Structure 1
Amino acid sequence: MNQLGLTPGSRHGDGPGLHLLLNHFVEDVQNHHDRLEVVPRETTSGQARVFKAAKVVLAGGSIESPKLLRRSSMYPWLPDSVKPLVGRGLTDHPTSNEITSFVTGIGGLPLSATDHGKIILYSLGRRDANNQIRYPFNVEMNLNHEFWHLRNNDPMAEAAAGPPGAARLDIKFSFGNCLDDNNEIRPAPPFGYVPEVVFRNQSWADYLADSRFRALAGWQKAPAEIWDVLNRVALDIFAQFESGGVPAQPAGSARYGSGGLGFGWGTVHHAVGSLRMPYRPRLDAPFSADSVVDENLLVVGTQRLYVCDMSVLPLSTAANPVRTLTALALRLSEHLG
């Protein structure tokens, strides 16, 4: 921190540098012509403070940042095209249930209940003869997943319930997802601070088939066709492994489809999109004319207020978006510098 020049230059905490203000929440961001003023309030005493800055970056995430922008004194002055988009579009990426096999080796290499690993198989985005993306998903594969669950201090406390000595192999499918304007971070009630989150779970196959996968990948597939793709890929992956000298199969003859495995319930994976940047609403569609932030993450209609968190992402990617967010932060730092 010293090398980067982030150490505050005053013992009283009012010098340049990095300041961490604990036990406060930000109530308002105000525009005063040549500067912005940030108003945080101390959570126990209720005392308000005022910080003046030439530029401010919101980084509270997909729920907190739109909540703060909407309740700020700057919101009424935003363009009419921007106001309806603040908080709207909240989206996560649908992830399938895990499908499991028990394996004893791969390519002549033995595997056991004490081996472990996490492997991600990434889609190349290739298209088929109908110009649809063949595999608009990534595959997460865990070997003896209990070693990768942070809730366990002792990995062997959750031993795989399979054949003695075999390794448990789990895979699941993570799809990207375009913004969903049915979802919204609504304003908090008068004198309240907790917003209403309207969020339709992305796990229903009919909803995914009807609009989400169509916008993401051009898929014109009914749920049964979607299950067929997942089952074929799962079988291809398991067949690379051995189980007692023969190609591995799903445990218990499990399959994706009606009455079988589907998409998980109640889990939100990497919510994005509530303060969208310029974006394409569908595969191969032109860029939309309206957004909350511009290509430099500046809130449209303002001169000094920026956003840099998951809320600006216009797509919930199939892969974890941390690297994308880091790249946006580095790009913004260069722009502000």
Structure 2
Amino acid sequence: MGSIDLTIFWAAVIGFAVMAYVVMDGFDLGIGILFPTFAVGEERDQAMNSIAPVWDGNETWLVMGGGGLLAAFPLAYAIILPATYPLIIAMLLGLVFRGVAFEFRWRDPRHRPFWDTAFCLGSVVAASAQGVTLGAILQGVHVENGAYAGGWLDWLSPFSVLTGLAVVTGYALLGASWLIWKTEGTSQRHARHLAFWLGVATLLALGAVSAATPFLHYDYWRRWFAMPGVLLTAQVPLLVAICTATFFWSLRRERERLPFLMALALFLLGFIGLGISIYPYVVPRAVTIWQAAAPPESQAFMLVGALVIIPLILVYTGWAYWVFRGKAGVHGYH
């Protein structure tokens, strides 16, 4: 029983790390995606300054999610990585390009248009690779004898492309909503205008993915539509409707923080929906979390480190956001 509890605990830890990454790195990837729509000069500088203090720390959760998957669920890591190698490589290269461009646009102003383009392209590539990876895992991975048995391009399908577009759109919504909170003047008005249309686009993308998912496998359909489970799962779309109405209401009332919080809530509900669809599988329809789990002794050993490291990460992340809680000006925070 102890090993089962530890397996569920580690599944929750990795799920939390992935969600924390999406929440925290999603908005700064979104700013990169939207970067060409900002006016050269003050708007772009305000957008950059709004994420400058926190963007690299946000990626801590990506490292934790990937490292935790390797340590706690090595079989899943050994299956998912070969199935999505091109996507993982593209994501990492996009993040590298983005990080380099972020630093060099300040230090090499003569080539700032080039670095701005690299910042945008790196953000788009990283976000779309994450979305396509999600779709590839959700649609199923070909597994034989505990190993990936598919081809180099099995991840590519209309559904995975749809999830890629949905994640890019959703991240852009997070970025625009973040800028409503952290900027002022023309930058804030522009962000509010973008957030409205991105909110519409995100809802359409979320609806398309949600409508397509039950057709991937009968088990997905049964989770969402069969009685009596539908009485519970129906609460997710109901909450999505409430958050959507609140989001557009807050935009109309020119609230500053609420649009961002509602955009985060939509992502959280999407994550809950994903969990409902795939639990208890870590590789859908092929490997459960218990089949993929490391030995109980390994899980218990890692538990000690996790109970120390996770609170530390939460504390220093919270402190960074608290210190830089004001508006982002052209030359920094005020």
Structure of higher RCO (CA pairs closer than 8 Å, 6+ residues apart) = 2
Structure richer in helix, relative to its length = 2
- Could you tell me the TM-score, scaled by structure 2's length? 0.25
- State which structure, 1 or 2, has the greater radius of gyration over its C-alpha atoms: 1
